[in-house]
Chain A
């Protein structure tokens, strides 16, 4: 690799090519129902007029992404017809011929080019305090590997099957543009992204506050606080125009047809339960676990009447509303309030003490994590929303690197239940080991002089993931409890990871808030 350092961009291309080849190898692996979801959307957008897109319900997997994604599927469907015409027939439910699988997988690999480009842009803005070292130890190289070869993105996109690659590419590209002070482009990219997948609304507060504070107010006072007189009407008008234009392009046709309520109801299905069938490792998983333990204890010690407890289990595999037995039940409004309260400190931090793009990135990560912790019906895949931006910070400071390691390892481990088929066991364990070993060793080498990245408690917690995995995958299926309590491995994984993720979230919050306090003290 020493010789390749001379040819600058060569190593980046080699990394990108290598991971693309790995993705090609994953083409014949297991794919989840999400595969059928996207095939269905290809069929819907290809055959039906626009007015029918959000009403079509032949398949149970109705269109529940914003219009831009529907147009994207429409474009793809025109290429799909050269691979296999049959996949575009709406009635062909669960159709998955070899050509279909090949086409869909290839489309994910191809659209990942945007992610590769975004990673390239981000790598340029990484601040390496130690320049001029060997290639393998440069922060740029480490960041490129952590982004391009991210284990979570690989298994969610290329095995489980989704299109997160190019969406994260859009997000990282907008972050990179904000780093380059090209605010309008960043805003445009984010607005477009919102209309591709509305889950990114979790991080919208960070964008709004940052653009308002650091772009619309063009100057700061000497001590860094807000200078109200420097408000620029032109800039805010421009931003507003961009957002309105993008929304008009996306939702306009449906507003004209009077279908907006239907679209909204499809995009925000609140009829689903607090937790997915497999609890995402957030605060509500811990809440559920405590509730269940109290219920069991209560029945045993005769505090509760067994007749009054509902029989349906939360982990029965059905996505429906339920009631908690001991603790108060949680409504969507309650989760919204909790999320709002939890993002307030970081948003205040960004408003009162902006530290430029880096402060914005921290706020973005905290918003993503807080929404993950308290959101309604959160998918475990949403943890990637926090992990990928955190990679950018992890190569710059040892504190962030420690938090990154905890969050990434637990977050990736919590994705394991997505791949439950026997042939994928070896693949997922191997890839996870590769990524984890690399992230630990490279970050440790990068911050060799700063001492240890993790303390002993954190290390023990992470090492205990190994026996947990062995128990869940190997020991438990061979015990007699498998028939009586089939959900135990999921429960254990969820609760254990929830502990780690909560800890990482709190640690990041504390470090961001204390940093801003020290900045304020220095300024004074």
Chain B
């Protein structure tokens, strides 16, 4: 009798709060992380802080995927954000703990693991491997191992169980890509059918090779000269490399790249807004399938309006604002006509946004021709992929040509 009553109460609760659960998870983990991060940004006015927080919270993709498509991504992303927040205060242990929690919640967070590792390793090296650095290294290693053990304890009964969990987490048997993703392999398959040319083993090795090749430079630079700013840029470039070149990537993995980009919205507003718009656009086929077209259009317009009014992105397009001063100085030596940089960037942005708008309209209203049923999803993927390659070069350029290191410059977070 009692159990029946409890079950009845439980059912009632579920009917009252079906989709409100995600909101609760958001409120507990993700939103506090965003607000605290913006509160403690250094050298920004209160207004900029509020504007940053607003823009980050209004980021369309996370809202659409978590509430529309229905997932709980904000928990793992929130934990990763807490990790970044703690690291910016030099609370390395808490930061590593938060990040381990993020990984154990969703293994996609492994995309961020290399920058965390390299940054902390670089810090240890800086402090000297014989003294304080070694102590720090041991403490971090212990924290990581302990948190993994605690999380995996229920599954550690047999080796077979652990292997099964790993097999489920990393489905290598599924193939190079599934459906239409804004990823190199999917875009290349328009020209060459990679799946038919190479065996699965070679595919695995090829994607491994490309991924690590593209993220190594940034990681090495981060280990040798760790600074918080470089760490954040490395988060973006590593996650983007993984997204573009890795195995069995879902289009939702773009969220892992977007959240670190959101963190830099008050430093390079134009490029961040541009990237975030493209990332939402790359999810269009998925959103159309879920019937989220109206929500997509409205949230994207709202996001663009808020960013445009808060950060006046169209005025800040010089090289200095795009953090490319050192790179452009070196290029200007070779190509004198590089002076029209702001205009080029502005026109590229407008062309890109118009293109995305047109493709959205076409995907929503027109039916594709019989011979090419996947015309619109594929074009969305290819366009997004090209944009992402451009951003990959951009973010890597910032990390590699950035001649500032954390010691003798004024602290810019």
Listed in ascending order, the chain A residues whose CB lies under 8 Å from chain B are 1-4, 10-11, 14, 17-18, 21-22, 24-25, 27-28, 134, 136, 422-423, 425-426, 474, 477-478
Nearest 7 pairs between A and B by C-beta? A3-B312, A21-B302, A426-B20, A24-B298, A21-B298, A14-B309, A4-B309
B88 CB, nearest partner CB in chain A, Å: 25
Interface of B is mostly: helix
Binding site for A on B (CB under 8 A): 9, 12, 15-20, 23, 45, 47, 51, 294-295, 297-299, 301-302, 305-306, 309-310, 312, 315
User: Given known contacts A1-B47, A11-B309, A21-B302, is B15 in contact with A422 (CB within 8 Å)?
Assistant: yes
Shortest distance from the beta carbon of A97 to any chain B beta carbon, whole Å: 15
Q: A14-B306, A21-B301, A22-B298 are in contact. List 5 more A-B contacts (CB 8 A).
A: A25-B294, A25-B295, A422-B18, A423-B19, A425-B16
List of B residues within 8 angstroms of A2 by Cβ: 45, 47
State in angstroms the CA–CA spacing of A353 and B38 once bound together.
Answer: 53
Q: What is the bound-complex CA distance between A134 and B48, given in angstroms?
A: 13
Which residue of the partner chain B has the closest CB to A134?
B47
Q: CA A22 – CA B15 in complex, angstroms? A: 25
CB neighbours of B47 from chain A (8 A)? 1-2, 134, 136
CA–CA, A2 to B315, complex, Å?
Answer: 13
Which of chain B's residues have a CB closer than 8 A to the CB of A4?
309-310, 312
Do A18 and B302 form a contact, CB below 8 Å, given A1-B309, A2-B47, A3-B315?
Answer: yes
**B48 vs chain A, min Cβ distance (A):** 9
The distance in angstroms between the C-alpha atoms of A10 and B16, with both chains bound, is 41
B16 closest partner in A (C-beta): A422
Q: Flag if A1 contacts B315 (CB, 8 Å).
A: no
A interface, over-half SS: helix
Contact check, B298 vs A10: say whether CB atoms are below 8 A apart. Answer: no
Which chain A residue shows the least CB distance to B315? Answer: A3
B294 with A24: CB separation less than 8 A: yes
Establish whether residues A18 and B15, one from each chain, have CB atoms under 8 Å apart when the complex forms. no
Which listed residue, B12, B17, B18, touches A477 by the CB 8 Å rule? B12
- Interchain residue pairs with CB less than 8 A apart (21): A1-B51, A2-B45, A4-B309, A11-B309, A14-B305, A14-B306, A14-B309, A17-B301, A21-B298, A21-B299, A21-B301, A22-B298, A22-B302, A24-B294, A25-B298, A27-B294, A422-B16, A422-B17, A425-B16, A474-B16, A477-B16
Contact of A10 among B15, B309, B315 (CB under 8 A): B309
Q: Taking A3-B312, A14-B309, A18-B302 as contacts, is the C-beta distance between A478 and B12 under 8 angstroms?
A: yes
A53 to chain B, nearest CB (A): 34
Q: How far is A11 from B9 in the complex, measured between Cα atoms in Å?
A: 48
Q: Quote the shortest CB–CB distance from B19 to chain A (angstroms).
A: 7
Task: Give A3 to B20 CA distance when docked, in angstroms.
Answer: 37
Chain B residues positioned under 8 Å from A28 (CB to CB): 294
Whether B12 and A18, one on each chain, are in contact in the complex, defined by CB atoms closer than 8 angstroms, is no
* A11 nearest CB across to chain B (Å): 7
Q: How many angstroms from the CA of A10 to the CA of B45 in the assembled complex?
A: 21
Interfacial chain A residues near B18, Cβ < 8 Å: 422-423
Q: How far is the CA of A146 from the CA of B23 in the complex (A)?
A: 26
B19/A18 in contact, CB under 8 A:
no
